[in-house]
């Protein structure tokens, strides 16, 4: 049985690699069609796409009147994106060049936006008003990225009158959706088969939950990040990771709080995660602002932070 699981695991891994390459290629083309930077298009489209699992968990928890689940999930997902996922991509690519000035310039804005839900929940509640505040900040930052409005509008208008270019745009958009479905489906299959193998080998449930599931939920970001670096589109890597953190913190939690306010009865339970999220954001911003390249050493440091977070969580539990 384990042999069958390993075959399925290998097949899913192959699909992840291929779909990641397809997503990078189509997003580069879409960014050219729309006249947007590769950082902006990865921030908006790919970040939204790779945050779909968190969005589904958030909506499900809100409609089931257990929205606190979403808050914990989002904080954990953001820590993983900024440490484990980004660190693995940096190591695999042997460094990432920081080519986009928007990422450097807006680093501390992202720091504030990612921590805003934690600041708002200090009164033990993320109310509907708080949710609206988060959504407003999200759309404000998206509009900031689209500040090339005139160029963006002109590009959209030119697409309407250029039939061949419009057809190519539709084709690449369709391929992007197909690639995304393949990536998310293969990532789910990979986690499922890895969990089954771990159970057959009598590995602990803590290992499965904290390690395999954590890596599995960030596989789309890791795959896309590695392929974009490999194809020399580093700014798309940063756009995706920073976008995922922003989308999770502002849009997902904002929407959840508007649907059903989040009550936090014991903030101390979130304290460790909140502190590690703040540490991850501070370290990431220092690297972003003081370096022209995220080196192998920075990747190691990010993985060490994740290791500390994982160890602390295990000990506390």
pLDDT (0 to 100) of residue 299? 92
In Å, how far are 236, 293, 296, 311 from 274, measured between CA atoms? Answer: 27, 27, 26, 15
- Is residue 291 classed as helix, strand or coil in its secondary structure? coil
256-270 CB burial, b ≥16 within 10 A, e <16: bbbbbbbebeeeeeb
pLDDT (0 to 100) of residue 315? 79
pTM greater than 0.95 (yes/no): no
> End-to-end CA distance of the chain, in Å?
32
Q: Identify the bridge partners of residue 26 per DSSP, sorted by sequence position.
A: none
pLDDT (0 to 100) of residue 153? 46
pLDDT (0 to 100) of residue 65? 80
8 A C-beta contact, residue 230 and residue 37: no
d(CA 82, CA 306): 9
Nearest to 224 by CA among 193, 181, 180: 180
Residue that the structure tokens 């670096």 belong to: 229
User: What domains can you pick out in the chain, each with its CATH number?
Assistant: 38-149+202-316 (1.20.1420.30)
8 A C-beta contact, residue 241 and residue 235: no
φ, ψ (nearest 5 deg) of residue 64: -90, 5
Dihedral sign (CA 39, 41, 44, 46) = negative
pLDDT values of the chain reduced to their tens digit, one per residue, 317 residues: 667 877 887 787 778 767 766 776 787 777 777 777 777 777 777 777 777 777 777 777 787 787 777 787 788 888 988 998 899 888 888 888 876 666 777 778 888 989 999 889 888 888 999 999 999 999 998 888 777 544 444 445 555 556 667 777 788 888 888 887 887 777 777 667 766 776 776 765 545 555 555 566 667 777 777 777 777 777 778 888 888 888 889 998 999 899 988 887 766 667 888 899 999 999 998 888 777 788 889 999 999 999 998 888 777 76
pLDDT digits (tens, 9 = 90+) for 86-139: 998 888 888 888 766 667 777 788 889 899 998 898 888 889 999 999 999 999
């Amino acid at each position: 049985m384990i042999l069958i699981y390993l075959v399925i695991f290998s097949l899913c891994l192959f699909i992840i690699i291929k779909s990641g390459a397809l997503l990078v290629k189509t997003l580069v083309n879409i960014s050219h069609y729309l006249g947007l930077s590769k950082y902006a298009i990865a921030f908006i489209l790919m970040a939204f796409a790779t945050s779909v699992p968190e969005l589904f968990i958030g909506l499900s928890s809100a409609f089931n009147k257990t929205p606190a689940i979403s808050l914990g999930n989002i904080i954990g997902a953001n820590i993983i994106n900024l440490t484990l996922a980004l660190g693995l991509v940096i190591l695999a690519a042997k460094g990432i060049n920081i080519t986009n000035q928007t990422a450097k310039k807006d680093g501390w804005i992202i720091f504030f936006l990612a921590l805003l839900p934690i600041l708002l929940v200090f009164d033990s509640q993320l109310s509907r008003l708080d949710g609206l505040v988060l959504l407003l900040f999200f759309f404000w930052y998206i509009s900031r990225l689209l500040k090339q409005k005139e160029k963006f509008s002109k590009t959209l208008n030119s697409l309407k009158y250029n039939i061949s270019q419009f057809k190519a745009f539709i084709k690449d958009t369709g391929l992007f959706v197909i690639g995304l479905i393949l990536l998310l489906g293969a990532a789910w299959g990979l986690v499922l088969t890895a969990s089954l193998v771990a159970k057959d080998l009598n590995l602990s449930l803590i290992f499965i939950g904290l390690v395999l599931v954590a890596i599995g939920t960030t596989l789309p970001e890791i795959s896309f990040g590695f392929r974009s670096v490999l194809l020399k589109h580093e700014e798309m890597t940063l756009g995706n990771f920073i976008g995922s953190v922003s989308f999770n913190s502002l849009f997902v939690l904002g929407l959840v709080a508007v649907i059903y306010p989040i009550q936090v009865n014991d903030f101390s339970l979130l304290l460790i995660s909140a502190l590690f999220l703040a540490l991850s954001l501070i370290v990431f911003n220092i690297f972003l602002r003081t370096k022209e390249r995220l080196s192998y050493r920075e990747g190691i440091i990010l993985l060490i932070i994740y290791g500390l977070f994982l160890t602390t969580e295990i000990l506390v539990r």
